Amino acid sequence: MKLSTLMTSAALALGLASGAVAQDKTKVGFVFVGPVGDGGWTYEHNQGRLAVEEEFGDKVETVFVESVAEGPDSERVMTQMALDGADLIFTTSFGYMDPTINVAKKFPDVKFEHATGYKRADNVSTYSARFYEGRAIQGHIAGSMTESNIIGYIGSFPIPEVIRGINSAYIHAKKVNPDVQFKIVWAYTWFDPAKEADAAKVLIEQGADVVLQHTDSTAPQAAAQEAGNVITFGQASDMAQYGPKPRVSSIIDDWAPYYIDRVKAVMDGTWESKDTWDGIGPGMVGIGEISDAVPADVKAEALELKDKIASGDYHPFTGPINKQDGSAWLAEGETADDGTLAGMNFYVEGIEGTIPQ
């Protein structure tokens, strides 16, 4: 009797103690669409996660699940994270939008942050980066450097984020090279190295000497390297290992400051639902070093363009710009509003082909 009482109280004390410790820590979950070693999109989100751990040390516990399919299965993963006591969950791909909203309804006390989407709730924030600002610089370099005047573009899914990138790159390539033509191939995947490499090879076989990618792995870089005289740009991550050629520059996503900021807000109890959309200026979008394979004058122009975008003097979508069907979109000097950009579902004038619906 005595012994069992002792045991019970000991167990209780232990339970209380561990409970107290658990409450001390803020638990942050991450749902990733690819493996953390993809060298691109998911890699950078994971760097952000590691930065959170570095910043808060013992006060925070992070968990992540990688290679989670977009759609219903992600709901299961998020639900499990919430049940396991996560205080804040980052869902880092567009296709997690509806699942995030659904799970958030079931767990009103858990905060959610969905990347690149547009649906919010009291406990769901959205955040994204203005990748199209970086695409403008890529377009400028691509248009200046192409000799075949054919630029290949590997799209993932026909969503506004990807279409913005295509439009922005095209507008700025066209500005420096009126003869430029875009060949766009949709891979219908974020991460499938073999397929991405195949898409790059096909584009190169069809005459492209610049390949832009909006998929997550470094496979197109390897394919371009194999093919020889082709240039590429790092996507989401620097992909510097493929420099100085084929990779001549890159768009780097820097999520760390945002993630640290939001985790801190949860700790302080100041977290509230909001929409964040930052670009080159605040540093959420970085431009990787422009390599020596780029002629000096083109490099200088690209850096000037970057500075003008960062300072806000120049908006990549500044009129006059027509839509693909020839109808007017932006008048002379007019800049695009965020609402139109967020839901962009049309090509600008000059791009061939139709957007899959």
Partner 1 sequence: MDLSAINPLLFVAGFLVAATPLIFAAIGELVVEKSGVLNLGVEGMMITGAICGFATAVETGSPLLGFAAAAVGGAVLSLLFAFLTQVALANQVASGLSLTLFGLGLSALIGQSYVGIKPPRLGDIDFGPLADIPVIGPILFTHDIILYLGIALVAGVWAVLKFTRAGLILRAVGESHDAAHALGYKVKRIRTAAILFGGACAGLGGAYISLIRVPQWTEGMTAGIGWIALALVVFASWKPWRALLGAYLFGGITQLQLNLQGAGVAIPVEYLAMSPYIITIIVLVVLSADKSAAPASLGRTFHASN
What are the residues binding partner 1 (CB under 8 A)? 34-39, 67, 152, 158, 183-186, 188-189, 191-195, 197-199, 201-203, 205-207, 217-219, 221-223, 225-226, 239, 241-242, 352-354, 356-357
Q: How far is the CB of 188 from partner 1 (least distance, A)?
A: 5
Give, in order, the Cα–Cα distances in Å from 355 to each of 137, 185, 345, 351. 23, 11, 8, 10
Residue where the block lists tokens 């898409």 = 199
Instruction: Give the residue among 129, 96, 132 at the shortest CA–CA distance from 113.
Output: 96
8 A C-beta contact, residue 225 and residue 199: no
We find the least distance from the C-beta atom of residue 279 to partner 1, in angstroms, to be 27
Least distance CB 331 / partner 1 (angstroms): 30
Q: Count CB atoms within 10 A of the CB of residue 298.
A: 17
What distances in angstroms separate CA 298 from CA 8, 301, 303, 305, one per listed residue? 74, 5, 9, 10
Q: Report in angstroms how near the CB of residue 344 gets to partner 1 at its nearest.
A: 18
Minimum distance from CB of 208 to partner 1 (Å)?
A: 8
Q: Tell me phi and psi for residue 135, to 5 degrees.
A: -60, -35
Tokens for 8, please give them. Answer: 């019970």
Q: Which residues pair with 127 in a beta bridge?
A: 115, 276
Q: How far apart are CA 4 and CA 297, in angstroms?
A: 82
- Which residues does 105 contact at the CB level (< 8 Å), separation at least 6? 121
Rg (CA), the chain: 23
Nearer to partner 1, 175 or 201 (CB): 201
Nearer to partner 1, 243 or 316 (CB): 243
Nearer to partner 1, 73 or 352 (CB): 352
* 157 vs 317, beta carbon nearer partner 1: 157
The residue (of 9 and 67) whose beta carbon lies closer to partner 1 is: 67
The 3-state DSSP class for residue 49 equals helix
Strands 88-91 and 111-115 come out as parallel
For the bound state, the minimum distance from the C-beta of residue 67 to partner 1, rounded and expressed in Å, comes to 6
Minimum CB separation of residue 138 from partner 1 in Å reads 19
In the complex with partner 1, which residue's Cβ is closer, 197 or 266?
A: 197
Closer residue to partner 1, CB minimum distance, 132 or 157: 157
Alpha helix segments (H runs only) across 187-292: 193-205, 219-227, 256-268
